[in-house]
Amino acid sequence: MIFNFTLLSTDSTSLIAVKFIDEQQKEFIVKTNLKINPNRWNADKQRPENIYLKIYKRLNAKLDAVKIVVSNYLEDVASKQRKFSLNILTRLIKKSCILNDSSFVKGSLLEATDNFIKSRLHLISVNTHRRYKVFFRMLKRFEGFQQKHLMLKEVDSNFVKDFINFGNLESYSSSTIYRTIYFVRTVLNFLEKRGIRTFVYELELPKIKKYNRVISLTEDELIRIQETAVPPPLKAAKDWLVISCYTGQRVSDFMNFNLDMMEILDGKPCLSFTQQKTQKTILLPLHPTAIHVMSDNGNNFPAKLSAQKYNEQIKEIARLAGINSLIKVRTRSGFRSTEKLIQKWEAITSHIGRRSFASNFYGKIPTPLLMQATGHSTELMFQRYISNTDTERTRSLGAYLDEVYKNKFSVS
């Protein structure tokens, strides 16, 4: 017996029903209490068109629950050769439409994952918890895709293949797919340490060489920005942008710089502060350029801006400075991200100062000293901030190509 979802009307709101077709092509319809606008329904994928809108996210979770309970019932009927009962199935479907987000099947991956996240709450940051919940919801959607509860004993090499297939069909990026599988591996390792046997050793992923696409401002671009005259309302943002590129801090830290943080070490002005995200204490010598910006502000830091206003204004500053080379970025289209070419100023955000600091001084200053300034714990994490495009070598190559071209035609 096969089943799928069907809408019962074409009006502005329609009930969603489950349609069954048996071996004799006999059709059965079971109504649910779930509703949707037919224009928002994707008949091919059997779900709302956009499952990331808040209104449809919960609806899709309920549809996944219905799929699992129906699939389990039909499998039970077939394996135990029981008689198909429409009444039993109707009760099961109605019950599954009442979601209980805190209830998970015992011995399932979701139960283990939920327990793992709860056990780490006192150890992880808000952002890490948010990221864990993203992985968790993705695993729930995978259960709906598989139409069954995923038990721990089934999380093996086949899980990896099936999950990658699911991710590709849903157009998730390779990074999202792989990070979720790595998270599952973390959960299984957590269980192994507590004496629960798993197939964690089977969760192997092919190595994919990733290009580290880091958007940063070169030193030449920074000079152009410093030399660009901007309207008075943009001056504070311009000054903060320059300071951020020569201090390597996050907007949550540099926007709170003040004179009370100043210290003098061997005659050198330094900033002493605690990073908000990592809670690391940083003693940072100020770059002469940052000191020059302060002198232009009456030996003080610029006026404080909100992160949103700062992000908006530095784009306009970069545009005025002619930072318009074409770069490839991932941008959100609907509820998926795609790659496209845009002008560089459009991609500038508050984090560009941190990346520019790391990229511009990498190779010129010992990496451990740079990491001490940025607050990175490992060189692997620090390397993610480094642009691996050697622009100076690229310029030299371009000059040589031009020279070869000129010499060739001057001889002929």
Do 206 and 345 lie in one domain? The reply is: no
pLDDT at 1: 77
Using CA atoms, how far residue 149 sits from 69, 140, 270, in Å, is 9, 9, 56
Of 145, 153, 67, 65, nearest in space to 109 by CA: 153
The domain boundary residue, chosen from 210, 245, 264 = 210
Residue 395 within any structural domain of the chain: no
Of 242, 270, 256, nearest in space to 352 by CA: 242
The single residue listed with the structure tokens 């903060």 is 240
> CA-CA distance, 64 to 110, in Å (whole number)?
14
pLDDT per residue over 94-117, tens digit each?
888 876 666 788 999 999 999 999
3-state helix, strand, coil in the chain (%, to 5): 50, 15, 30
Do 186 and 307 lie in one domain? The reply is: no
Do residues 302 and 282 lie in contact, with contact meaning Cβ atoms separated by under 8 Å?
A: no
Among 17-26, 198-207, 332-341, the least confident range: 332-341
Residue 404 within any structural domain of the chain: no
pLDDT at 258: 96
Using CA atoms, how far residue 186 sits from 81, 182, 200, 407, in Å, is 40, 6, 9, 60
> CA-CA distance, 326 to 380, in Å (whole number)?
28
Do 134 and 85 lie in one domain? The reply is: no
Do 71 and 107 lie in one domain? The reply is: no
Q: What is the DSSP letter of 83?
A: P
> CA-CA distance, 84 to 13, in Å (whole number)?
31
pLDDT band of residue 54 (cuts 50, 70, 90) is confident
Amino acid symbol at 369 = L
Structure token pair of residue 209:
């060489």
The single residue listed with the structure tokens 């943080």 is 261
Averaged over 184-189, what is the pLDDT? 95
Q: Which has the higher per-residue pLDDT, 215 or 229?
A: 229
Helix orientation angle between 219-227 and 232-247, rounded to the nearest 10 degrees: 150
pLDDT per residue over 291-326, tens digit each?
999 999 999 999 999 999 999 999 999 999 999 999
Do 130 and 247 lie in one domain? The reply is: no
Q: For the chain, what percent of residues have pLDDT higher than 70?
A: 91
Q: Which residues contact 304 (CB under 8 A, 6 or more apart)?
A: 255, 256
pLDDT at 127: 87
What is the span of the domain harbouring residue 117?
101-210
Q: For the chain, what percent of residues have pLDDT higher than 90?
A: 60
Provide the CATH number for the domain around residue 148. Answer: 1.10.150.130
Do 198 and 288 lie in one domain? The reply is: no
pLDDT at 321: 96
Residue 16 within any structural domain of the chain: yes
Q: What is the mean pLDDT of the chain?
A: 88
pLDDT at 24: 82
Torsion (CA) 369, 374, 376, 381 in degrees, nearest 10: -100
Half-sphere exposure of 127 (CA within 13 A, CB side): 3
> Element (H or E) spanning 47, and its range?
strand 47-48
Provide the CATH number for the domain around residue 316. Answer: 1.10.443.10
